[in-house]
Structure 1
Amino acid sequence: MHRNKLAASLVGLLFIPIAGVSHAQSTSSSNTSSPGTTSQDNASTGSQNLNDQSPPSSAPSANGAKQLQTVMVTGSAIPRIDLETPSPVTMISAQDIQRSGFSTVSDLLRSISADNSGSLPNSFPGALAVGASGISMRGLTVDSTLVLVDGKRVADFAGADDGERSFVDLNTLPLAAVDHIEVLKDGASSLYGADAIAGVVNIILKSSYQGVQLTADVGDSQRGGGFTKKGTLLAGTGDLNKDGYNLYVSLQVETDQSIQAMSRPFPFNTNDLSSIGGTNPNVPSSNGSIYGAVRPATISNGDILTGLPTADGVWQPLRPCGSNSTLVTNDPNNPGAYCSQNISGQYSEVQPKSNQFGLYSRLTFKINDSTKAYVSASMSQYQSWAQEGSLAQIQSTTPTNTTGIVLPWQLANGQLNPNDPFAAQQQDALISYAFQGLPQMQNTSNHNARLVGDISGTLAGWNYDASLSLNHTWLSTEALGYLNYNALYNAVVNGTYNFVNPGANSQAELNSLAPPLNTLATSDLHALDLSANHELWDLPGGTSALALGGQFRYEAQNYPEINPNNEYQNRNVVQAAGHRTVAGVYFEFDAPILESLEADLSGRFDHYSDVGNNFSPKLGLKWKPLDWLALRGTYSKGFRAPSFFQLGDSLSYGGTPYTPPASYIAAHGDDSYVQHTGVGELSVGSPVLKPEKSTSITFGVVLQPTSWLSASLDYYQIKKTSVISDPNWGLAINNYFSGLTLPAGFTVTPNRPDPNYPDMMPTPAVLTAPYVNANWLKTNGVDLDLQTHVKFDNGIQWESDLSGTEIFNWEQSYGPGQVYQFVGYQAPYVLSAGTGTPRLRGAWSNTLIYGPATVTMTARYTSGMLMVSQDVGVLPVPGSCLSTNPDGLPFPNSCWTGSFTDVDLTGSYDINRHVTVTASIFNLFNRLPPFDPANYAGLNYNPGFAQSGIVGRFFNLGVKVKF
């Protein structure tokens, strides 16, 4: 791997496929909006180039003179005529949304090139945030990108990514009421406060609507599964200028059926990769089958968890293998016979079943010529039913290690154990087993209710805006198929569960082994926002302006523990509770120093009731030496306050496999004690955590040499300090086995000693440590946007949009001498299912318009990665290939997962002014995703960047009717 030179990178970006989105623009007129809010009273639905320096359309004043209209652009609190700000902003218009073919905000936003490492997909059934989706700009995780609706904050998802990172769930933001979306690719804490480190996504909803619009869509995958039905309603009445009011409602419903892994080709339908040189975990020493496998064993001191196979004993099936398994008799590592069953393939989904519902309503009043007010209310629900790809396994490493569990030859009542075939010889049976009828699942239902009241106008020369928003979310989670250890122990020693004939067990017995786990989590955000702006004095380049604003908000989150007292096997433990108040004030001063030079200065002071104070300044400059050339740049400070999942009253528990050192394995004779090694990782909240701090720099050039061609190239650099991180688990494990002092704050709960070697140091069962403000991370790169729009004499129009992001560096310090480079690697691996940090992402969209017909082809590209991550303490050395073959060598040999290019084709035809038909073919060439055995969110593929590959060619037909 090597770092591309900048010149080569830019040339390369011109020839890769990259997202069809327009340059930043705002198409509406208002000068009384709150920061970052764009009013659409006179909005056009068309796309206008940001670099087009012609002013917005003018409107007559009271005396009949023409006045230029001003607009608000995300990242500024001052209305402006020139749509191009010192910060890079991308606008995704309603037209762009329609041409993309996407029906959800999540799919739309996660397709932009700036979304990278840490992005959260819907398709990871084992995620702690299953059923939710988040955007991660610049690869700085979902908690460093601020998501706004109409320039106002919304409540976080009641859960958290990886049990620690709070974010706004994109699934609760229906697309039907969206007018356009503005994406600020720059730090913006100077106006918006916390979380706006990597950028801001501002979802602008329609301010008014008249008429009725209905849409209906159906879609299906060529490979099978995923059938979808969608419908929207948009209806409104009242002309704001004539009637003094407008009322509209928007409704969106969607259902998506699941896609089963077994309907996809090898190797995406199994975890058995032995046929191509990989490993097969479907063996008794790793994963059991529903047919079970047993071998004679001995135990220590009557402890059924200490089973060790006898020297002459071999595996044998507990009952005959069924048609969905294979009898194996030639495995040297598992002598004897056993049933190998592809449980992961049989119980995995590459897309969970889901339902989405969204209702939005807005009533706007024109109080007088200079004052208007609106009230909006919304309610959304997103439901997901996700199979995790496994059955409840008797073998588990956390929190109680049951890999050595046996069926005792004598039950607690003194009878011979009918489940133990060796009971007559008074021998216990080491057992490997998966419980038929207990698939592991997570069912979630996330609700979001929001009420907003806003009034804006002009008073004494000041344009003002005041709003009150009330937002409450609640998330119900049901986890199924997790064994209760005490119930399992009782079933084994009392013989109440029939292992030989599982069909004889009642549903009550199954329920007693794995009772459903339920929790109800909530989050709240209530905010009062006040802002005002005023023109000041004339400067050589125009009139300067000042904006002032303030915000007071209340935040709260409560996530009750779903696995109290860690009673359930292999179930993550997460809990969080807290509330706080935040008060912030900000200013922005814009000075057109010269006709060609603009300076913009802003700053915000925030007081948090739990983590103290912060001030974030920002300076932006834009210089336009020529009509067709502009240079822009910014320097800013930002911050992110610790989430409630990282502060004092919180904890997050997960488990990870590891390999002990070769010397430790050899000292234990490579017995079963060291063959099944996993450790629990318990991160606990720390009340002394400090906010993360950031410093951001952008510098860009904007070119528009002709009316039909425009381009921009922006460099960015972000450095975070006091990064809130998990403890360094890998270092702690290495130190433990090396006999070194554990890192500060760590404690170890040891496992039982090895029965064969009771005097030797046991393996670690649970590592416990608090979250820490770990050193720093730094990333830099470039964004490229290129647009063309050509009209031919024959009436055909051609529009082309090329955009892409290349990351030069993404590195993080984990302590002295531990600076890890992550760009181009499947790293950081512990972050959001190991999606990795691809160097290049982008898309190229081409649209042909002829009369009533519009056709768009978009190609999206994500570069490949090396399956290496130094943040994982994988022995023998950190930075080894994350995927290995049975000999411990890299698998595949290159340790590389390839790039992925996806091509979508969408089209529409206006039958008349009332009816439009639409059609889309996603993944036009039916490409499979790159092979990625290291990813732990998908079955040998990476759902973070290649989900469309596993779905396959997908057809969608729709109709839109307007009245």
Structure 2
Amino acid sequence: MDAITVTGSLIPQTQLETFTPTTSVTSEQLKAEGFATVAQALQHLSFATGSVQNAQNTNSFTPGAKTASFFGLNPGYVKLLVDGRPMNNFPVLYDSTEVINNLNTIPTDLVDRIEFLPGGQSTLYGSDAIAGVINIIMKKKVDAPIIDARYGWNGLGGNANRHISFADTFSFGKFNITAGAQIESSQPIWSADRSWTSHNFENGASPALSGRDYLIYNSELRNSYYMLDPNRCALTTGQFGGTEGLQHRPGQGDYCGSFYAPGTSTLSGDSKTANIYTRATYDLSDTTQLYGDFSYNFDREKWSNGASTMWWGSSSKYTYIYDPDLDDFINFQKSFSPEEVGGYQHIMSKSYERNYTLTLGSKGILGASDWEYDISVMHGEDKLTQRPFARFTNAMENFFTTRVLGPDLGPDPDGNGFSTFRPDYAAFYTPISNADFNSFTGYLTSNAKTWQNIGRLTLTNSALFHMSGGDAGVAVLAEGANEGWDYSPDHRLLTGEVWGQSAVQGAGHRSRFAVANEWRLPLLSELTMSASARYDAYKVAGSTISKPTYSVGLEYRPFGDLLLLRARYGTAFKAPTLADQFTGNSSYYANPTDYYNCALLGYDPAVASISCPAKYNGAPVKGLQSGNPKLKPISATNWSAGLVLSPISRMALGVDFYHWNIKDEVDIEARDKLLLQETACRLGQLDISSPSCQSAISKIIRNAKGELAEIQTPKVNVANEILDTVNVNFNYVFSAGFLGEFSPTLNYTNILQHKRQPYVGDPYIDLLRSPYWSTDFKTKLAASLTWRRGKWGATLYASRFGKSPNYLATLNASSPYTKAGEGTLPAWLTYNASVSYKPLAKLDVSFIVNNLLNAMPPVDTSYPGTSSAPYNKYNYDVYGRTFSLEARYKFGP
């Protein structure tokens, strides 16, 4: 075989299977297996066992971006490359904390193949390559002009998809250029389109309870709701499509509400993307080639969080108001209906991403030597404009003060510091007009940007000297770079001018350099050793963070190509991101459940969000988060061992074991989990003197009455994470004579151990058996069977997601799976199927069905009746069966 360059080595070589296991997916496989995007393909790999935010999580910082979690590790732990160069970082932080790459910016039709290398790869690729490396290799040459068109639709409604692409290669003597473009659009899926999500859950652990769309409550612990509407909700019945009406919650009282408010949110957004990619080369001589790559990607996303966050409440300004006619302290709460907002499809939040990368370089041979060089410079930028829909604080408060509360009559008679009002209750229970709603709402504009400049020189020699087993290869790399990040939210988000919203803000830049060396040493004809080392140094704010890494691997072939035994040991690291270090102090407001005070009243965490009085359930609380300049780099050791068995031609069975030991991870503590942990510590369910309990208690600030005042969620270096996993893969291609050619594949991942120690001195948390901390899948299987015969082809692709914890189990912080109702959900199995036909020599047509059997997630009856989606959105979706028709035409002779 000719020497090739594979991901995971800088040295060209003839072996496809090396000491580093590599999973490769071609563009043909992507289409045959039913994946319309690179994101879908990566999320369905068996390695992608982790729970991640997605388009269903509209109330997040990155609802339009797509990412994946491998082996249950942080999404930022995988190094994403395009043609061996780092992708531009997405400008907005995933879950407000983590830097990710947006897979939306990869044009599927212009991809040649995708390669994934699990395990720490920092010795070649530097920071971030802890879980592994994904290298997306673009097409460098197209034999003839190709146009591809696809139309897709969803059997349950929504998500109609249109796609067209074009690619060609042009040659002018020594100059060659390959160019391609792709345009795609997808319509949204609304929660109202699915029976699972259109209304509150009626088959859960408690009776279905409607939203509290018109609610007046006091500070009492029970019977806290007032029904003060003289019309008993009669004026509201036209809201939420005619489903609004008088409702009752046992032990609390009456209010006006609808079971169908959840249908106003999107499950999948309205998306439009456009991509351009070009690759140009010029043969300067027989030994020197100049090259340049340019890509531009545009992504526009629209989504709606619906009525769940589009509301007004008097507590944010007044805490409580005193009504002398009631002689009581009360609050108002009102959700805005589709009729009042003019249709939620008209007030969707939006984002516009513009991402480009330019690379210029030269490669060739140094003189008459065997040394090859590749020198390049790259510049990349990713700009994002966010246009979230917002309620403006002063305008909305003034509107409801004038309409409902009336004039301020002075302080309350008990001297509690609350204002006195005589509200117009009839006005409160009267829907507002669309013009009124527009008077205190509108769009914000926030801008974010990342950029990077990289200069790189690589020298390789595949035959530096001869050894017993063949020629020794060597590679040397030198790299210098700088990068920056700037997130400038709309200033009104930072000054309290936006009701119920705030923002994370910050900016910073740094420079870095790295040197690396790799050796490939054939010690014997059967035994090859590979070794590499790298040194990285980051200069940030006048100080330098440096990290050396190394790797050693062995390949042993005792029986030629029949059996390969392989092993590898290496180190990896992840430098603190610019966002980790430079995020400014950012406050936000949340409406958490005060589990501790609810527990003192006798409400278990499982029912606190339903039954606990409003005083401790949903009252606004200030949160504070910020970067931490004292963060240390994350470091990791990783080793793997496995074998590849090839008993016959075109068959391979691989089994590999991986181990990670990751230290000093950067994380931000989840607010709800922090509150649950504080409760368990204060109640003695956890050791209150432990470091993690002391940390939790110090970050939950309570006033003199023991009520929540502030929640602090800073970034911290957690102590340790240990992960063991095994992967099995099988590939076979065989001919069945006149029946055609068959290609079965299988890839299976089993997480054997995953544990984490939050702080030094804490006991380890078993993440596989502690659903409070993790809902990741333990096992995942992906399998396919492809058939080809003449002009016909077909593929059946299966994904099996293993068991996962039910909702009730995720609430138990101290002793999981011990309380009634806690348990696991069965495995989820989905199928994709495709059929292709070639009616003409230049024309291919295909019909693709995703989720062939229309499989819905396992039913989780442990969700309460207040739930709007009775399944874990991080693990499952209810998109259902989709259909696509695709045609590809190749021009030319």
Shorter-chain TM-score range: 0.7 to 0.9
Q: What is the count of residue pairs matched by the alignment?
A: 831
In the superposition, relative to structure 1, how do residues 653 and 626 fare at CA in structure 2: closer, same or farther (>3 Å)?
farther
Identify the residue that residue 596 of structure 2 maps to in structure 1: 660
In the superposition, relative to structure 1, how do residues 626 and 155 fare at CA in structure 2: closer, same or farther (>3 Å)?
same
Report 1:435-834 matches (<5 A).
435-436=336-337, 437-438=340-341, 441-460=348-367, 461=369, 462-480=371-389, 482-495=390-403, 499-500=427-428, 505=433, 507=435, 509-534=436-461, 535-562=463-490, 563-571=493-501, 573-610=503-540, 612-627=545-560, 628-651=562-585, 655=590, 656-661=592-597, 664-665=600-601, 672-676=614-618, 679-727=621-669, 729-730=674-675, 733-734=678-679, 743=694, 761-794=705-738, 796-815=740-759, 816-823=761-768, 826=771, 828-829=773-774
Counterpart residue identity of residue 851, structure 1: G
Equivalent residue of 1:574, what SS? coil
Counterpart residue identity of residue 61, structure 2: L
In the superposition, relative to structure 1, how do residues 826 and 446 fare at CA in structure 2: closer, same or farther (>3 Å)?
farther
* 2: CA distance, partners of 1:600 / 1:430: 69
Identify the residue that residue 900 of structure 1 maps to in structure 2: 828
Equivalent residue of 1:843, what SS? strand
In the superposition, relative to structure 1, how do residues 325 and 244 fare at CA in structure 2: closer, same or farther (>3 Å)?
same
Equivalent residue of 2:40, what SS? helix
In the superposition, relative to structure 1, how do residues 179 and 672 fare at CA in structure 2: closer, same or farther (>3 Å)?
closer
* 1: CA distance, partners of 2:622 / 2:209: 20
Identify the residue that residue 26 of structure 1 maps to in structure 2: none
Identify the residue that residue 253 of structure 1 maps to in structure 2: 183
Contact 2:638 2:659 in 1 (8 A): yes
- The counterpart of 1:132, out of the listed 39, 60, 65, is 65
How far does the alpha carbon of each residue in 1:373-395 deviate from its partner, in whole angstroms, 9 at most, with x for none?
A: 21121111111111113255546
1:193 aligns with 2:111: no
In the superposition, relative to structure 1, how do residues 320 and 86 fare at CA in structure 2: closer, same or farther (>3 Å)?
closer
Contact 1:540 1:593 in 2 (8 A): yes
Contact 1:131 1:384 in 2 (8 A): yes
Contact 2:494 2:502 in 1 (8 A): no
Report deviation, 1:495. 2.7
* 1: CA distance, partners of 2:706 / 2:735: 74
Report 1:18-167 matches (<5 A).
56=1, 69-167=2-100
In the superposition, relative to structure 1, how do residues 844 and 504 fare at CA in structure 2: closer, same or farther (>3 Å)?
closer
Counterpart residue identity of residue 347, structure 1: T
* 2: CA distance, partners of 1:818 / 1:681: 28
Counterpart residue identity of residue 469, structure 1: M
In the superposition, relative to structure 1, how do residues 586 and 337 fare at CA in structure 2: closer, same or farther (>3 Å)?
closer
* 2: CA distance, partners of 1:441 / 1:403: 29
Equivalent residue of 1:489, what SS? helix
How far does the alpha carbon of each residue in 1:755-811 deviate from its partner, in whole angstroms, 9 at most, with x for none?
A: xxxxx6231132225311111111111111101111122151011001111101111
* 2: CA distance, partners of 1:918 / 1:811: 45
Equivalent residue of 1:695, what SS? strand
Identify the residue that residue 838 of structure 2 maps to in structure 1: 910
* 2: CA distance, partners of 1:177 / 1:796: 29
In the superposition, relative to structure 1, how do residues 920 and 125 fare at CA in structure 2: closer, same or farther (>3 Å)?
same
Report deviation, 1:100. 1.8
How far does the alpha carbon of each residue in 1:317-372 deviate from its partner, in whole angstroms, 9 at most, with x for none?
A: 4534335325445532232453334211x212221111111111222111222221
In the superposition, relative to structure 1, how do residues 102 and 690 fare at CA in structure 2: closer, same or farther (>3 Å)?
same
Contact 2:222 2:613 in 1 (8 A): no
Report deviation, 1:946. 3.0
Contact 2:661 2:720 in 1 (8 A): yes
Counterpart residue identity of residue 915, structure 1: L
Report deviation, 1:281. 5.0
Equivalent residue of 1:778, what SS? strand
Q: Identity over the aligned pairs, expressed in percent?
A: 21
Counterpart residue identity of residue 338, structure 1: C
Counterpart residue identity of residue 696, structure 1: N
* 1: CA distance, partners of 2:203 / 2:27: 49
Contact 1:404 1:672 in 2 (8 A): no
How far does the alpha carbon of each residue in 1:605-638 deviate from its partner, in whole angstroms, 9 at most, with x for none?
A: 0010125100010001111111201100110100
Equivalent residue of 2:31, what SS? helix
Contact 1:778 1:812 in 2 (8 A): yes
* 2: CA distance, partners of 1:770 / 1:447: 30
* 1: CA distance, partners of 2:21 / 2:247: 63
Equivalent residue of 1:443, what SS? strand
In the superposition, relative to structure 1, how do residues 315 and 630 fare at CA in structure 2: closer, same or farther (>3 Å)?
farther
* 1: CA distance, partners of 2:13 / 2:849: 40
Counterpart residue identity of residue 591, structure 1: L
Contact 1:720 1:778 in 2 (8 A): yes
Which stretches of structure 1, 4 residues or longer, exceed 6 Å deviation after superposition?
Answer: 306-312, 425-429, 666-670, 738-742, 933-938
- The counterpart of 1:857, out of the listed 767, 779, 796, is 796
In the superposition, relative to structure 1, how do residues 336 and 142 fare at CA in structure 2: closer, same or farther (>3 Å)?
closer
Report deviation, 1:178. 1.0
Equivalent residue of 1:615, what SS? strand
Contact 2:313 2:332 in 1 (8 A): no
Q: 953-962 or 808-817, which moves further after superposition?
A: 808-817
1:931 aligns with 2:859: yes
* 2: CA distance, partners of 1:868 / 1:293: 27
* 1: CA distance, partners of 2:401 / 2:711: 30
Equivalent residue of 1:694, what SS? strand
How far does the alpha carbon of each residue in 1:537-570 deviate from its partner, in whole angstroms, 9 at most, with x for none?
A: 1111001111000111111111123421344344
Report deviation, 1:233. 0.6
Report deviation, 1:275. 4.3
How far does the alpha carbon of each residue in 1:387-411 deviate from its partner, in whole angstroms, 9 at most, with x for none?
A: 11325554669xx7579655x769x
In the superposition, relative to structure 1, how do residues 99 and 505 fare at CA in structure 2: closer, same or farther (>3 Å)?
closer
- The counterpart of 1:377, out of the listed 270, 294, 307, is 294
Contact 2:701 2:710 in 1 (8 A): yes
1:388 aligns with 2:388: no
Identify the residue that residue 198 of structure 2 maps to in structure 1: 269
Contact 1:119 1:141 in 2 (8 A): no
Identify the residue that residue 413 of structure 1 maps to in structure 2: none
Report deviation, 1:454. 1.9
Contact 2:478 2:515 in 1 (8 A): yes
Contact 1:824 1:865 in 2 (8 A): no
* 2: CA distance, partners of 1:926 / 1:475: 35
How far does the alpha carbon of each residue in 1:158-190 deviate from its partner, in whole angstroms, 9 at most, with x for none?
A: 111111111111101111211111111121100
Identify the residue that residue 332 of structure 2 maps to in structure 1: 431
Report deviation, 1:828. 3.5
More helix as a share of residues: 2
Report deviation, 1:221. 1.0
Equivalent residue of 1:224, what SS? coil
User: Gapped runs of 5+ residues in structure 1?
Assistant: 1-55, 57-68, 298-305, 411-421, 754-759, 830-835, 883-888
In the superposition, relative to structure 1, how do residues 581 and 869 fare at CA in structure 2: closer, same or farther (>3 Å)?
farther
The CA RMSD over aligned residues, in Å, is: 3.2
